[in-house]
Structure 1
Amino acid sequence: MDGLTAVGLAANIIQFLDFCATLLSEASEVYHSASGLSQEYVELQDVARDLSLLVDGLITPKTNAGPRVSYQGLGPGPDMLSIAHSAKAVATELISVTRGASGC
């Protein structure tokens, strides 16, 4: 075996071992977590819930909050509402996916 082939083989072995270590670490984290999710998934759920709540405030204005001011001074315009509805859909999908991952 020539030197270049040996170096390539060693690099492949190291890459495989790194992948295995990462996989085992993540599996252990999920196994030991109370929710059955990794910390990354829990944070993603929290962000999706926060996004959903913020967008709800744009889509459904509160009556006791007074007039809402936008860039144009007229409240949320059609473009803003379209973005808000898209963000709500993304947040709902993220929450659904992360709940599905936990088996809930």
Structure 2
Amino acid sequence: MNDKNLNISKSKKNIFTDNNEIVGLAKNNSARLLNTCRSVFPTFFDNLKQINPDLKKSELIFCVYLKLDFSTKEIALYTFVTPKAIQNRKNRIRKKLNIASDVDIYKWFDEL
């Protein structure tokens, strides 16, 4: 049964990260990224809103980058900010979503 759950979990992430349109929008820091993700993956945003309904648009977009499993350097490159700023954003998102510091944030988003 655990193998089945593991495969389901992997397939969910693959669906999200294998969506070339979303990855392309993220890499281009497109204004359409959030709306496209909301229409394709509404349960992801519903789950985030259940945890913290006060997340801002910019925080939701940042969550998409984390869900896409982009590294700190990649996110910095695509969003035109420094890696240090991305690390600070990760820490703020951890606080807002109550993610413990010992939990891998990418794994947490993968399981969301």
- TM-score of the aligned structures, taking structure 1 as reference length: 0.31
Q: Which has the larger radius of gyration?
A: 1
- TM-score of the aligned structures, taking structure 2 as reference length: 0.30
